[in-house]
């Protein structure tokens, strides 16, 4: 008991020290770094709900490549059968889709929906490279201490699908807890809860992301990461012209 | 016919289950109303056509750097019949093709790739028309597809060798397709595997990822009748670009120039006399945009310039020819359909509005307009997908005054009921 109290005290102290010593931008970058796995190979199940009814379910395999200015993600539908074989490349603001039995990836809007409320960019998202910190305040979220960040998309940034983001981060662990994504018009587009953190490959990763529609609390999409692994692919595989060369693999 | 449909679906399902392959079976029933000649007058006649298409594919990784993939396609076609409930045996047409069969070897992983076999070549990003597809065969089979880019439009590939190199933000590619021809007797069997390749083709493609834009340059050299005294060399070149403008807008543009292309020209519309005509330096171009209004609604707009199309007196003559052809029920060559459906003129626009009503149900409305005579086509479609099944319905129609292209199209309106099964 004493030991756990000591650990809690140290963690709390360390968290506060970290939160007070580092700049808001550094904290945001550190939060990204703590949960982002280089060369991550993942499988994720995305289930869309209307109320409690399942309206759609998909299984995707993907690979992440970390970049200096933005990350790139390859994804492929494994289910349902009607989408099987569709491949995606998310390269900053550019999203490409390659349909099965075709050879030319089509450029689509980053707003294109993967399933339910989840867009391509929601599967793996980082903030520090794409957003400026307007403010950071010590606050609470669901009655727990939280750092509340107000972010705005960088000028000329690579991923600016959302003009502003309100972000709540645990001050101790720097875990992402909750985010609200807004359009340039100020409309709330979606809300995301980051849950079920697990220690994966040396990182602290949210295994469940629950995304709610901004205008309808009944509609939400739960993304659950089923498997994690590493897959090192050459940089050149994360480009449009190589999308038909990529063979998706389930993480081992 | 129904038994055949069931047997086909069961066989494909069994094969896929055994080998872990995946594919789709698509069944279309298409009632069509078209103008036909009945004695001295022209009347509207309804016919119906039923088709079943099946596609089966598999990809296997033999080693870290070597993959094999193949895709087969088949079509059972009742051909148009006056009675939609009957499928006369003699009218049932079967065709099949190996769409693609290739081995990809990453000689230097991520840097140099050798691709050998039958490959689908489709560099164009156009929805409505695809000018950058210099090597093009169009959709496999003459199946009813009046709704652009909606129904599956499976393409047959080209036998050849492709070498791809990645250097920085550049991708360099060379594809060589040798001539592959065979005798008529061999074609009786081989037509179910592949169409023949008459020319020797070499296509060089350069892709450049510049900032947010993708730029591609293409050059196709074709040698017609290679190895003979009548061999001739032709060149087509093109350029394409696409980019994002903010989150909501994607833009694309393509332009190509051919040193010479042939078309069927009308000599006399009254006697239905035609002649082949060679045109020099033929441009074709497409400008397009997709506006994602929100997560569910998007609008596609494209303009197409068809340099091979007709203008002025030639256009008037071609329309008169097409009108006479319908009026007399003539089997003379189809001038109006030689560049594909609804592309006799030079200037067209295409608009399509799509809405995903739910995760399973989507709808669309579209129109194609001939800017030279303000005639056109329109369509409405609704699709639902649930698990392994899909159901689509569409209505396509035409409009245009007498003496316009919309008035000489081979149909007045058409309904398409389509069922898909994915496995």
| Complex ipTM > 0.90 | no
Q: Which domain holds residue A142?
A: 24-245
CB contact under 8 A, B111 and A234: yes
Return the number of other C-beta atoms located less than 10 Å from residue B166's C-beta.
Answer: 23
Distance CA B405, CA B306 (A): 15
Q: B237 pairs with which residues across the strands?
A: B219, B257
Query: Do residues B162 and B175 lie in contact, with contact meaning Cβ atoms separated by under 8 Å?
Result: yes
Q: Minimal Cα distance from B248: which residue of A? A: A109
Residue-level pLDDT at B409: 86
According to the model, what pLDDT value does residue B64 have?
Answer: 82
pLDDT of residue A71: 86
Count of C-beta atoms within a 10 Å radius of residue A5: 9
Q: Is A241 on the interface with B (CB under 8 A)?
A: yes
Q: Which residue of B has its CA nearest to A92?
A: B212
Residue B298 lies in a domain: yes
The CA-CA-CA angle for residues B82, B87, B92, to 5°, reads 110
> Residue B260 is part of which domain span?
58-73+95-422
> Which CATH number goes with the domain that contains B375?
2.40.160
Q: Note the pLDDT of residue B149.
A: 43
In a domain, A40, yes or no: yes
Is A15 inside any structural domain? no
Q: What is the pLDDT of residues B247-278, one digit of tens each?
A: 889 999 999 999 999 999 999 999 989 999 99
Q: Which residue of A has its CA nearest to B241?
A: A107
Distance of alpha carbon B260 from alpha carbon B264, whole angstroms: 14
Residue A218 at interface with chain B, using a CB cutoff of 8 Å: no
DSSP conformation letters of chain A: -HHHHHHHHHHHHHHHHHHHHS-HHHHHHHHHHHH--TTEEEEEEEEEEETTEEEEEEEEEEEEE--SS--EEEEEEEESGGGTT-EEEEETTEEEEE-TT--SPEEE-TT-EEETTEEGGGSS---TTTEEEEEEEEEEETTEEEEEEEEEEPTT-S--SSSEEEEEE-TTT--EEEEEEE-TTS-EEEEEEEEEEEEETTEEEEEEEEEEESS-TTEEEEEEEEEEEE----GGGSSGGGGGG-------
Could you read off the pLDDT tens digit of each residue along chain A, which spans 252 residues?
A: 455 554 445 444 444 455 555 899 999 999 999 999 999 999 999 999 999 999 889 999 999 998 877 889 999 999 999 899 899 999 887 899 998 888 899 998 887 777 778 877 788 888 988 899 999 999 999 999 999 999 998 876 555 568 899 999 999 999 999 999 998 888 898 999 999 999 999 999 999 999 999 888 899 999 999 999 999 999 999 999 999 999 999 998
Q: Does A68 touch chain B (CB under 8 A)?
A: no
Looking at residue A70, what is its pLDDT?
82
CATH number at residue A109: 2.50.20.10
Residues of chain A found within 8 Å of residue B155, distances taken between Cβ atoms:
102
Q: In whole angstroms, how far apart are CA A77 and each of A86, A116, A120, A197, B136?
A: 6, 14, 12, 24, 28
Alpha-carbon distance of A29 to A15, in angstroms, equals 15
By CB atoms closer than 10 A (0-12, 13-18, 19+), residue B286 is buried
Q: Which residues of chain B have pLDDT under 70?
A: 1-20, 37-42, 81-91, 142-152
Predicted TM-score of the model (pTM)? 0.88
Q: With contact defined as beta carbons under 8 Å apart, do B131 and B16 qualify?
A: no
Alpha-carbon gap, residue B182 to B137, rounded angstroms: 19
Q: Cα(B233)–Cα(B213) distance, rounded to whole angstroms?
A: 33
The answer to the question of residue B350 being in a domain is yes
To test the contact with chain A by mutation, choose from B122, B157, B244, B362 the residue with the greatest count of A C-beta atoms within 10 A, namely B244
**Is B88 a domain residue?**
no
Strand locations in B128-178 (E): 158-167, 170-177
- The pLDDT tens digits for B362-415 are 999 999 999 999 999 999 999 999 889 999 999 999 999 988 999 888 788 889
Task: Give how many domains chain B has, as a whole number.
Answer: 1
CA distance B394 to chain A (A): 19
Interchain proximity A109–B294, CB inside 8 Å = no
Instruction: Give the gap in angstroms from C-alpha B100 to the nearest C-alpha of chain A.
Output: 8
Shortest CB distance from A107 goes to which of B59, B152, B242? B242
- A188 CB within 8 Å of a chain B CB: no
pLDDT given for residue B86 in this prediction:
56
CA atoms B14, B16, B19, B20: torsion sign: negative
Output the pLDDT for position B143: 63
Decide if A162 is inside a domain: yes
Cα–Cα distance list, B216 to B125, B129, B208, B241, B242 (Å): 11, 17, 6, 6, 9
Give the gap in angstroms from C-alpha B10 to the nearest C-alpha of chain A. 17
| Structure confidence at residue A146 (pLDDT) | 96
Residue B1 lies in a domain: no
Residue A63 contacts residue A40 (beta carbons within 8 Å): yes
Instruction: Specify the DSSP element, H or E, that contains B7.
Output: helix B2-19
DSSP state string for A39-75 = TEEEEEEEEEEETTEEEEEEEEEEEEE--SS--EEEE
Hey, are the CB atoms on A106 and B295 less than 8 Å from each other? Answer: no
Looking at residue A78, its pLDDT comes to 94
Residues from chain A that touch B387, judged by Cβ atoms under 8 A, are 80-82
Q: Which of B57, B125, B387 sits opposite A104 (nearest CB)?
A: B125
Contacts of A85 in chain B (CB under 8 A): 22, 57
- For A233, the closest chain B residue by CA position comes to B110
Chains A, B: CB contacts within 8 A come to 119
Instruction: Kindly report whether the peptide bond that precedes residue A80 is cis, defined as omega within 30 degrees of 0.
Output: yes
What's the gap in Å between the CA of A27 and the closest CA on chain B? 27
Is the residue at A215 inside a domain? yes
Cβ neighbours, 10 Å, residue B392: 20
Question: Which residue carries 């399933």 as its tokens?
Answer: A115
């Amino acid at each position: 008991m004493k030991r756990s109290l000591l650990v809690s005290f140290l963690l709390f102290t360390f968290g506060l020290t970290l939160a007070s010593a580092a700049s808001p931008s550094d904290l945001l970058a550190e939060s990204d770094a703590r949960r982002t796995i280089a060369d991550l190979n993942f499988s994720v199940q995305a289930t869309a709900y209307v109320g409690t009814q399942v309206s759609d379910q998909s299984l995707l395999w993907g690979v992440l490549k970390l970049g200096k200015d933005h990350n790139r993600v390859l994804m492929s539908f494994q289910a349902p059968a009607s989408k099987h074989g569709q491949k995606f490349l998310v390269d900053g603001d550019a999203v490409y889709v390659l349909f099965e039995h075709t050879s030319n990836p089509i450029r689509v809007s980053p707003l294109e929906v993967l399933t339910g409320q989840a867009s391509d960019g929601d599967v793996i998202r980082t903030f520090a490279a794409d957003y400026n910190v307007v403010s950071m305040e010590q606050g609470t979220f669901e009655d727990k201490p939280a750092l509340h960040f107000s972010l705005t998309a960088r000028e000329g940034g690579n991923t600016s699908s959302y003009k502003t983001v309100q972000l709540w981060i645990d001050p101790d662990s720097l875990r992402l807890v909750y985010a609200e994504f807004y359009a340039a018009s100020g409309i709330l587009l979606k809300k995301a809860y980051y849950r079920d953190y697990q220690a994966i490959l040396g990182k602290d990763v949210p295994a469940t992301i629950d995304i709610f529609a901004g205008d309808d609390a009944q509609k939400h999409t739960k993304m659950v990461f089923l498997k994690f692994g590493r897959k090192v692919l050459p940089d050149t595989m994360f480009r449009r012209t190589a999308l038909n060369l990529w063979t998706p693999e389930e993480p081992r | 016919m129904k038994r055949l449909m069931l047997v086909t679906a069961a066989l494909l399902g069994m094969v896929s289950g055994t080998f872990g392959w995946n594919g789709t079976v698509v069944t279309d029933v298409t009632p069509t109303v078209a103008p036909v000649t009945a004695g001295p007058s022209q009347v509207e006649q309804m016919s119906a056509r039923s088709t079943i298409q099946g596609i089966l594919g598999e990809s296997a990784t033999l080693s870290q750097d070597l993959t094999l993939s193949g895709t087969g396609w088949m079509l059972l076609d009742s051909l148009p019949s006056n009675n939609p409930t009957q499928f006369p045996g003699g009218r049932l047409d079967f065709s099949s093709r190996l769409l693609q069969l290739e081995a990809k070897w990453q000689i230097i992983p991520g840097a140099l790739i050798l691709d050998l076999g039958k490959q689908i070549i489709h560099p164009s990003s156009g929805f409505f028309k695809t000018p950058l597809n210099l090597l093009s065969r169009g959709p496999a089979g003459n199946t009813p597809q009046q709704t652009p880019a909606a129904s599956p439009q499976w393409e047959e590939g080209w036998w050849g060798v492709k070498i791809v190199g990645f250097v920085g933000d550049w991708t360099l590619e060379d594809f060589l397709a040798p001539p592959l021809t065979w005798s008529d007797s061999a074609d009786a069997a081989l037509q179910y595997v592949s169409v023949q390749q008459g020319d020797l083709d070499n296509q060089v493609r350069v892709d450049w990822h510049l900032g947010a834009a993708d730029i591609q340059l293409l050059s196709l050299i074709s040698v017609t009748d290679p190895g003979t005294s009548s061999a001739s060399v032709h060149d087509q070149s093109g350029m394409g670009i696409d980019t994002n403008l903010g989150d909501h807008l994607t833009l694309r543009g393509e332009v190509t120039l051919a040193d010479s292309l042939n078309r069927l020209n009308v000599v006399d519309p009254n006697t239905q006399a035609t002649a082949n005509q060679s045109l020099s330096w033929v441009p074709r171009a497409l400008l397009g945009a997709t506006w994602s209004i929100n997560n569910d609604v998007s609008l596609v707009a494209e303009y197409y310039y068809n340099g091979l199309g007709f203008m002025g007196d030639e256009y008037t003559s071609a329309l008169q020819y097409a009108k006479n052809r319908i009026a007399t029920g003539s089997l003379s060559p189809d001038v109006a359909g030689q560049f594909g459906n609804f592309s006799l003129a030079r200037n067209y626009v295409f608009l399509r509005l799509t809405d995903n009503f739910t995760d399973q149900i989507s709808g669309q409305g579209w129109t194609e307009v001939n800017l030279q005579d303000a005639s056109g086509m329109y369509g409405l479609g609704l699709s639902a997908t649930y698990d392994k099944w899909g159901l689509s319905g569409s209505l396509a129609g035409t409009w245009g005054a007498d003496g316009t292209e919309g008035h000489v199209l081979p149909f007045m309106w058409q309904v398409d009921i389509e069922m898909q099964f994915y496995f």
